[in-house]
Amino acid sequence: DGGITQSPKYLFRKEGQNVTLSCEQNLNHDAMYWYRQDPGQGLRLIYYSQIVNDFQKGDIAEGYSVSREKKESFPLTVTSAQKNPTAFYLCASRSLAGPSTDTQYFGPGTRLTVL
């Protein structure tokens, strides 16, 4: 899991609440990504960012929001508009220069459960 940290590891939310998942990296990577993982569905891209103060929607952005105020941080907010938020959330980052520019590296994940 390298230099990418995600917190908390487990998160419980009541319906109607917004929650924010933290993702921090000390790898000096420019690009960061958020994925959602559900059993049997692989990973689906929520949002990604290649530079500070800029980000793009992925395939399932509805009900989620992000910010990229610092290079090392890419928090994900799961809003009350997300109809089925219970899932495992994974953050990843990638360097845009150097020999490993093609490879995304992943954090340990946050498991969100809606009660």
Closer CB to another protein, 78 or 92, in the complex: 92
- Do the beta carbons of residue 48 and residue 34 sit within 8 Å? yes
Nearer to another protein, 10 or 15 (CB): 10
- CA 76 – CA 65 distance, rounded (Å): 6
Q: Which of 32, 92, 109 is CA-nearest to residue 67?
A: 32
Residues 63, 84 contacting (CB under 8 angstroms): no
| Nearest to another protein of 58, 80 (CB atom) | 58
CB of residue 80 to another protein, shortest distance in Å? 26
* Closest CB to another protein among residues 19, 89: 89
Q: Which residues bind another protein (CB under 8 A)?
A: 1, 4, 6, 31, 33, 35, 40-45, 48, 50, 56, 58, 88, 90, 92, 94, 96, 102-109, 111
Cα-Cα-Cα-Cα dihedral sign, residues 8, 78, 5, 24: negative
What is the smallest separation between the CB atom of 16 and another protein, expressed in angstroms? 27
